[in-house]
Amino acid sequence: MTSLGDEIYLLRPKRDRDQVEVYAVSNHHLLRCLTVPNAGTFTYMTSCEHFFCLYISDPFLKCIHRLGLQGRPPNSAKWLVNDEPDGLSVNAGHSLIVTCCTVRKIKEFSPRGDLLRDVTLPDDVISPLHAIQLTSGQFIVCHGAFYDPIHRVCKVSEDGGHIDSHGGRPGSNIGQYDGPCHLAVDDKEFVFVVDVNNRRVTLLSPTLDYKRRIVSRDQLKWRPRRLCLDVQRRRLYVAENELKDGKYTAGRVVVFTV
């Protein structure tokens, strides 16, 4: 899920067509659907306001799909990552930041798909799922999958050195996470963290100190997995899904004022 201009883009796990649904910010009505050609499987999506495009990670094909939104139909392209891509974000220089969970790397690509940087994360950053690069060049990274001993949010230097962190052993107390899988950062570099299994969204300061719980379990119906922060309108979109017998059977987006 991501926003661009006056629209919200929602990614659906379809293989044939209409994988991206476009909704109006004003009334949340469905406007149209977009098709990603030659798609495999999808995990994350982000947008670039400067180039007015969408980026979608495809771990099955180990590639990134790029949809340019200025034409109808959108211009599509893709490029290989050579590892399974997971979380996506766009930095201040309009480059794409790709988190590769299995190999514990952050890769930076130009809008044309040229590899600009390949950063290996510290050994204790296990199963990184999403990274956002700050204007300072540092990265905010969330990591920790189901069986991992550490679940936390880290600040990592531009060259991959560990700087600071919040979290530790998985749990449900304040200062703990159980599946931190997606991030958003506002214009003052406060960090919003989706905590899947605790069914909440936590707010951290720019120095990764705990501030408060933005969204609680009582405000959600299922497990939250994706965030989208509209800084201009001060809206936080949280995508949550129902999981039954290992399959996603339902989902919705909940909107909060922050």
pLDDT score for 127: 96
Name residues whose C-beta falls within 8 Å of residue 156's C-beta, 6 or more positions apart in sequence: 106, 119, 121, 122, 125, 131, 138, 139, 140, 141, 162, 163
Name residues whose C-beta falls within 8 Å of residue 185's C-beta, 6 or more positions apart in sequence: 132, 134, 140, 191, 192, 229
pLDDT score for 244: 81
What is the rounded distance in angstroms from the CA atom of residue 8 to the CA atom of residue 253?
A: 11
pLDDT score for 250: 82
pLDDT score for 16: 74
pLDDT in tens, 106-165: 999 999 999 999 999 999 999 999 999 999 999 999 999 888 999 999 999 999 988 899
Torsion of CA 117, 121, 126, 128, to 10 degrees: -40
Structure tokens given for 30 = 């469905």
Average confidence (pLDDT) per 10 residues, the chain, 258 residues: 94 80 94 90 94 95 94 85 97 97 97 96 95 96 93 95 91 94 96 96 96 95 94 94 80 92
Domain annotation for the chain: domains and CATH numbers:
1-120 (2.120.10.30)
pLDDT score for 81: 97
pLDDT score for 17: 80
Structure tokens given for 191 = 């960090």
Torsion of CA 252, 57, 231, 208, to 10 degrees: 100
Name residues whose C-beta falls within 8 Å of residue 233's C-beta, 6 or more positions apart in sequence: 25
